Structure 1
Amino acid sequence: MNEIAVIGKAALALSWAGIASIQPAPALAQSQPGDGFEVTRYALALTPDIPNKTLAGRETITLRITAEDVRLLSFSGNALIIDSAAVDGIPVAINQHGSLDFTLPHPRSRGRTVKLELAYHGRPARGFAGSQDLLYTSYFACDWMICAQERFGDKADFSLDLRVPAGMDTLSLGRMTAKRAGPEGSEIHGWKARRPYSPYLYGFAVGRFARASAKAGSADLTYLSDAADSADLKRRFAATPDMVAFLSDKAGVPLPNDGYSQLLVDGDEAQEAATYSVLGIEALPTKDGDPAEDWAIVHELAHQWWGNLITCATLKDFWLNEGITTFMTAAWKEHRYGRAAYEAELDIARERLAKARAKGFDKPLTWSGQYPSLGTRRAVQYSKGALFMEQLRTTIGDRAFWSGLRRYSRAHAGGTVTSIDLERAMETASGRDLSALFAEWVFGTSQGG
């Protein structure tokens, strides 16, 4: 669009003086993204080019060193072009060989705080979607910014200044904190998350949106779309307040951040971010009150508790994010439509797991090996995870089960979890030793792993 500079000009505008002499670093020792440090804050200023699906930006990463003699800061690799990089004001060497590595000017010791300042531009290989007039991010945050994609346990503060054409609408984490005039007919919209979140949950959207709103207790609900009007948004998302009440009760924790937005777009998108979700029209029911199709809204909403507020520490325990939310989708259907709808939803999980088993593939929920396909991964982490939650409910009874889920959710709100945390909560609530059940389904110790 005319109001947004093309990438070449934006890159020049964002370049830092005196950094052009940086040369690529020589080959570095192998390091996994995120090793040796934890990020405490990401602060971004981005200029997205909506029709071209490109961006230019600056980013300041504040991090704490967690090991001795750290010489390298490693992040997930992506297709962005790094224009400059400095640590505590000192230019540093950049190396891209799968991961994105920055060589420190001198080793840093445990406990030190470091600021990595970056300027970059480019076209993300993944994570951008939309149309000529709409741009929204979809899952792969570390393709459009610099972060570590699979460091689920490293929650950090997040703020974002989006430079967009005047009159455009934006959406991101938390609340909009400021809107001010920018250069060349643009506006700068400032967004800030109210609590730390894992990087894979970061996102934003830019477009011209119809808007509707509702309340769920004291929480503000916002419905946005470039593909539907306000009346249609209210109709499609009419059940959201009841879903919030149901999930808040089962979690024992109110909706985080006192607000939640849903962005309705064309297609079949169903993706959660921290404090909002992106949902495609094709993923929503074609008629109101249809239990067979009523899943995407409640599944992504459930992630605001299980996945976003309470996050698996590593990918090994990813079933805690997806298995619980898949189960809670069935539990919502039971609450709204009755037991038959609950069983029908779990039957979908049973069918998906049966297909994986028919291909000779079934693993414990915490299995950390390679899956042959995304569908097979989901058959285990989503479907088998949901069926395990149903097995827990059957084994210990409703009262103990829901008490255990509330205990688990309250104890770890805002933090990270492993499967042991769920086992301990359920054992405390039920007064039973559940180690054999968890060994069979979760850890695989009774199956030889």
Structure 2
Amino acid sequence: MRLGALLSFRALGAAALTCALTGPALAQTADVPLATRTGESDLPLTVNQAATGLDALDLALRVDPASTTIAGTARYSLTALAPLARLDFDLDPRFAISAVLVDGAAVPAERWRNDKGLFSVDLADTAAKGTRIALEIRYAGRPHKAIKPPWQGGFVWSQTPSGQPWIATAVQGEGCDLIYPCIDNSQKRIGVIDAAVTVPAPLVAAGNGKFVGRSDEAGWTTWKWQTRNLNTYALALNIGPYETVERTYRSRFGNSFPVQFWHLPGNGAKAAALVDQMVGFLDFFERTIGPYPAGAEKVGLVETPHLGMEHQTINAYGNDFKLAPEGFDWLMHHEFAHEWFANQLAETEPKHMWLQEGLGSYMQPLYLEQTRGTLNYHVSLWDMRKKIVAKVPLVPEGRLSSAYYNDKDAGWGGDIYYKGAWIAHTLRGLIGDRAFFATLRRVTYGRDDPRPGNFVPVYRTSDDFRRETEKASGKDLAWFFDAYLRQGPLPRLSATRNGKRLDLAWTTAGGTPFPMPVEVRVGQRIVRATMTGGRGSVPLGEDLTDFTLDPANRILRDDPAITAWQAQEKAASEAKAKTAAAQ
């Protein structure tokens, strides 16, 4: 989710990249532009990257707030998945590399290079398939500063209200190579990461995974963390004068694990209240989808000087403890959904991002339905529906351009959130709860019976989702996914009175079949038109005008009223901006 998983259906529209960020001193000096390769994540793997197995990483980082620099040593344990003559990694070229070692031996400078972010090491001899390789890279420098975190990411060098260093990273769009040498592709997770982060005492470095110890040395403290199968952009640095609130969660699946929140001094009571909410969120997700994916580690939250990000087991939180009218923290709920839809179920490539963002966004209406009733469910969906633009396909052909991420007119805007959530709502209405939730479980865990310890992260495409849906429902649903994912405009339903009969017809932008059944309220009755071939009819009563199409609002379809309202709002916004500019 290259928009940062923060375009809430509650408060942010399709172009909402102007959300106010919490915390003081966020303004930073503009950084030099990122190298092309460094500035974009999930580029196609090189042949050498595809052939490199990432078994383990021992990462040591020293973070100096005074100079806004870092110094790191990355020690990799690798396996050649095919014959390898060269190792390729990604690393921001602004870092100076002081040494490269392979199997403990220094590599001469002429055998390694960083070509605009592609860091390569020529091996002395071609490694045969199955060969284990130890790679060590020592580097240092001033990392890229985030311009508008988390949407334009990097390092955030901030200060707490009391003037102490407050540091965070958010690099989803740009990738892990802004922090350490990595293979910046979502399908190249590292088996085990041991991260040791050294910071000036008495600062705390909260990290991913399990806390495994700390050590103190001459005014510096090293905080040590271990995590497994980490989402590539999810490794995060979070440094500040943190205090901690902790609860133990006892899962319905029989395991227990900590829920921990690293917060700034003075926010303990608010943090404790949010942790209590998290316990409720956990029970909802485990009841609705399945086991918490990182139950062997922790549920982690950390207060950050930017709005938020779904960093695996250490979710960034900067929503200033604001409650929605329904009494819960929408931001934390959304970010936490990504522990399932991003960190457990991951897209194979960015064009399938709706699987993470759309399904993650749909979790909020579901949560409200279960905790507050159907009115809240439908209100939250209606709030989303007003923001669906539906100009371009959710799943385009070929590789995505940057416009798909960032251009509100030529690209997705917020559709991967809102349209994605409405696709889930419509699908649920079409195939029923049993098949729908079975699909979610299967596509998320790769099995029907997930239990702690019997699953690993899975990578999915939109076609994978379709196949699991068809398997669970017993229906051929190619027409459904063609219309909603591979065409921009929404299906249009026309209704024509023909004597005492109402004739109905679906049309799609691509002219593809769309046999979506339609309910019609006729007087006091609900009549269902099967719409074979995209056409159907229902008998009308004596009052030929007393009918409502899709009275339960189950179907995502073109709505001229919303389109007209969106145009009105856009014109008013542009006029206001023009007046402000003139003044």
TM-score band, normalised by shorter chain: 0.7 to 0.9
Match of 2:485 in 1: 442
Separation in 2 of the partners of 1:327 and 1:226? 31
Whether 2:306 is the aligned partner of 1:272: answer: no
Separation in 1 of the partners of 2:484 and 2:190? 28
Separation in 2 of the partners of 1:422 and 1:370? 23
TM-superposition CA deviations, 1:303-339 (whole Å, max 9, x none): 1112112222222322222221111122222223333
> Which consecutive residues of structure 1, in runs of 5 or more, have no partner in the other structure?
1-29
Secondary structure in 1 matching 2:442: helix
Contact 2:51/2:84 (8 A) holds in 1: no
Contact 2:89/2:181 (8 A) holds in 1: no
Match of 1:315 in 2: 350
CA RMSD of aligned residues (A): 2.8
Separation in 1 of the partners of 2:266 and 2:301? 12
* CA displacement at 1:222 relative to structure 2: 1.1
Identity %: 22
Separation in 2 of the partners of 1:255 and 1:228? 31
Correspondent of 2:335 among 300, 323, 330:
300
TM-superposition CA deviations, 1:186-205 (whole Å, max 9, x none): 22221101x31232111121
Match of 1:349 in 2: 384
1:52-63 to structure 2, matched below 5 A, reads 52-63=67-78
Whether 2:64 is the aligned partner of 1:49: answer: yes
Separation in 2 of the partners of 1:146 and 1:423? 36
The 10-residue stretch of structure 1 (301-310 or 106-115) with the greater mean CA deviation from structure 2: 106-115
Separation in 1 of the partners of 2:380 and 2:327? 8
The 10-residue stretch of structure 1 (197-206 or 415-424) with the greater mean CA deviation from structure 2: 415-424
Change (3 A) 1:325 1:405: same
Match of 2:114 in 1: 96
The aligned amino acid for 1:73 is: D
The 10-residue stretch of structure 1 (68-77 or 233-242) with the greater mean CA deviation from structure 2: 68-77
The 10-residue stretch of structure 1 (48-57 or 378-387) with the greater mean CA deviation from structure 2: 378-387
Match of 2:549 in 1: none
Contact 1:170/1:205 (8 A) holds in 2: yes
Whether 2:262 is the aligned partner of 1:224: answer: yes
Match of 2:278 in 1: 240
Match of 2:302 in 1: 263
Match of 2:456 in 1: 414
Separation in 2 of the partners of 1:80 and 1:33? 22
TM-superposition CA deviations, 1:123-181 (whole Å, max 9, x none): 11142114241112213432011112233353432110112233332211111112223
Change (3 A) 1:411 1:79: same
Contact 1:38/1:64 (8 A) holds in 2: yes
* CA displacement at 1:389 relative to structure 2: 1.4
Separation in 2 of the partners of 1:32 and 1:57? 26
Change (3 A) 1:394 1:207: same
Whether 2:208 is the aligned partner of 1:170: answer: no
Whether 2:122 is the aligned partner of 1:71: answer: no
Separation in 1 of the partners of 2:48 and 2:186? 8
Change (3 A) 1:177 1:247: same
* CA displacement at 1:50 relative to structure 2: 2.3
Contact 2:345/2:445 (8 A) holds in 1: no
Separation in 1 of the partners of 2:91 and 2:73? 17
Match of 1:215 in 2: 248
Separation in 1 of the partners of 2:382 and 2:64? 44
1:97-136 to structure 2, matched below 5 A, reads 97-98=115-116, 99-126=118-145, 127-132=154-159, 133-136=165-168
Separation in 1 of the partners of 2:87 and 2:422? 43
The aligned amino acid for 1:250 is: T
Secondary structure in 2 matching 1:426: helix
Separation in 1 of the partners of 2:74 and 2:481? 42
Correspondent of 2:431 among 396, 406, 415:
396
Change (3 A) 1:227 1:299: farther
> Which consecutive residues of structure 2, in runs of 5 or more, have no partner in the other structure?
1-44, 146-153, 160-164, 251-255, 448-454, 489-507, 513-583
* CA displacement at 1:62 relative to structure 2: 2.0
Separation in 2 of the partners of 1:430 and 1:135? 48
Separation in 2 of the partners of 1:351 and 1:401? 24
Separation in 2 of the partners of 1:448 and 1:60? 55
Higher helix share: 1
The 10-residue stretch of structure 1 (391-400 or 361-370) with the greater mean CA deviation from structure 2: 361-370
TM-superposition CA deviations, 1:28-77 (whole Å, max 9, x none): xx947834323222210111012433210111122222333543423254
Separation in 2 of the partners of 1:278 and 1:82? 30
Correspondent of 1:200 among 227, 233, 238:
233
Separation in 2 of the partners of 1:426 and 1:405? 8
Separation in 1 of the partners of 2:64 and 2:511? 52
